[in-house]
Amino acid sequence: MDHLLLLLLWSSGTQAEENHMSTEPDELRLVGGDSRCAGILELKHEDWRPVAGRDWTLRDAAVVCKELDCGSVVSIRHKEESLARLQWWIRKDCVRSGSALRECVVSSYTDFTLNLTCSDSVRLLDGTSLCSGRLEVRSNQSNQGWSSVCEADFDQQDAEVVCRELGCGAPSALQGALYGEVEAPVGSKEFQCGGHESALLDCRSSDSARTTCSPGKAVGLTCSESDEIRLVEGGSRCAGRLEMKLGDWRPVSGTDWNMPDAAVVCRELDCGSAVSVELRQESSDRPVWRISSDCLQSESVLKACLTPSTSTFIQNLICSDLLLQPIISVSSMNGVSQVHQQGSQVFRGFSFTITCSIQPQYPGGSFHLTFTSSSSNAEHNYTQPPFNHSAHFLFPVAQPAHQGNYTCVYQVYVFSHNFSSESHRLSVSVSDPPEFPVKVVFLPLTLLLLSATLYFYCKATRGQTSSRQEDTELVNYPLDVGAAEGEGDVQGVHSTPSRI
């Protein structure tokens, strides 16, 4: 309905009215919010009317924040009215072309008004995204002046507050002149944030001891945006329903998405490449963030493309890198496997084991061990199923031919797809046992065994002699002839061969 009215008005010559509209600061305002930089957007032309812009993105809203001298855009909402009424419609294609707002306005009946929140006291300029740029702080509320901040007067906790105030993720880079050289700040404040404040001006501050700041030392800040995107209910952080956060978490809808669009999300999540993209329908409408394919391919970050909407269609993705990386290690049966900067070392003639393991994620799967010999460059492959998420590949006798590089690959079939993850490369060298361990370890061990053998032999011998004496005394004590008879038996036993 809105688009039909728009076309009718457009065809009836409303273009002539557009060119006479002005967007001077006193003809554009945000009302009903907590500050002059938040609320329903209204435009004055003959009378004040709300502004409609149902398909606006965060990037489009940033233009309005700039017009209002309100810093960076934080959030965008559509407020639904009970009845359609006459409003000013600002065409987003006109805004994106760089035209002034007064050249982009038409009159329209609609039941959606545009609700914006801009930062009141901080902004990021000349960055690569809405969450990066050179930091400026409103220096004087009366004249609405802006000033950059000296790097020496700003720390990580201050940066955390700014990123939070702008609706972005945690700070990922903080450096002077990160986004170009500017005139050095004069009369900068030194902020003393605890890191928990919701706005920079809520922090304690003091006038900096510096009257000027060296050129190239104005704070440049980059806030992470990966904290504001996730895949949920897919069994892995790299699979599931796509959700994004802009004030609140909402599912993402994008009816025209294809594999290249899904690849942008997988890259943002550090989840490899896209495996599948699917639009699933739910039973009822719910608030969503709508992202068009055109915007996704033209913008450097996802956040700039968010448009609030409602839909029953939710985007579901599977990315390739949904497995954790397997761990590879080597151990030797002689217990003297050594680790050097160049890799691990085992001794020739002794057995060694290559172990592949992975943190529990999915049942089943298989481990594939690949060995590339350093002498012949020949490649050997071995496969085992996991037991307790590990596999042990035993090499009974280490030989020079076993010297080379080993890698583990874990493969598993989930979500109707085959996935694999490769470990880091493990370099193994084979060397002769050093002389020192033979003398110090094996020789003492041999002497110890020999001493123990002699000890037990002597003890057993003394035990037998003592036993015979005790038996003789025990038997002969009451009978005097027992001893002579006994001696005769022993002798008889010993003289038997001479009679044969």
* DSSP string across 430-483: EEPPPHHHIIIIIHHHHHHHHHHHHHHHHHHHHHHHHHHHHHHHHHHTT-SSHH
Which residue's entry shows tokens 């037991």?
Answer: 387
Give the DSSP H/E element, type plus range, for residue 204.
strand 204-207
CATH architecture under which domain 2-118 falls: Roll (3.10)
pLDDT of residue 470: 39
Q: Where are the domains of the chain?
A: 2-118, 124-223, 228-319, 327-433, 436-473
Q: In sequence order, what DSSP letters do the residues of 390-424 get, joined into one string?
A: EEEEEESS--GGG-EEEEEEEEEEETTEEEEEE--
What is the predicted pLDDT for the residue at 373?
Answer: 92
3-state secondary structure of 370: strand
Rounded Cα–Cα distance for residues 439 and 428 (Å)? 25
Please state which of the four CATH numbers 2.60.40.10, 3.10.250.10, 3.40.50.300, 1.10.1740.10 is assigned to the domain occupying 228-319: 3.10.250.10
- pLDDT at residue number 403: 94
Q: Using an 8 Å Cβ cutoff, are 205 and 191 in contact?
A: yes
Owner of token pair 């699979």: 239
Whether the domain at 228-319 and the domain at 327-433 fall into the same CATH topology: no
By the 8 A CB rule, do 326 and 367 touch?
Answer: yes
Domain at 124-223: CATH architecture: Roll (3.10)
The pLDDT of residue 22: 40
CB 426 within 8 A of CB 407: yes
Residues of the chain with pLDDT under 70: 1-26, 53, 81-82, 95-96, 98-102, 139-144, 176-188, 207-213, 215-216, 226, 300, 334-342, 435-447, 449-450, 452-453, 455-500
Residue in 116, 117, 126 with CA at minimum distance from that of residue 198: 117
CA diameter of the chain: 147
Instruction: For domain 327-433, give the fold.
Output: Immunoglobulin-like (2.60.40)
What integer pLDDT is reported at residue 155 of this predicted model? 87
| Tally of CB atoms within 10 A around 138 | 20
The pLDDT assigned to 7 comes to 35
pLDDT of residue 198: 83
Spatial neighbors of 32 by CB under 8 A, at least 6 apart, are 39, 40
In this structure, the dihedral spanned by the alpha carbons of residues 48, 53, 58 and 61, taken in order and rounded to 10 degrees, is: -30
The answer to whether 472 and 486 are in contact (CB under 8 A) is yes
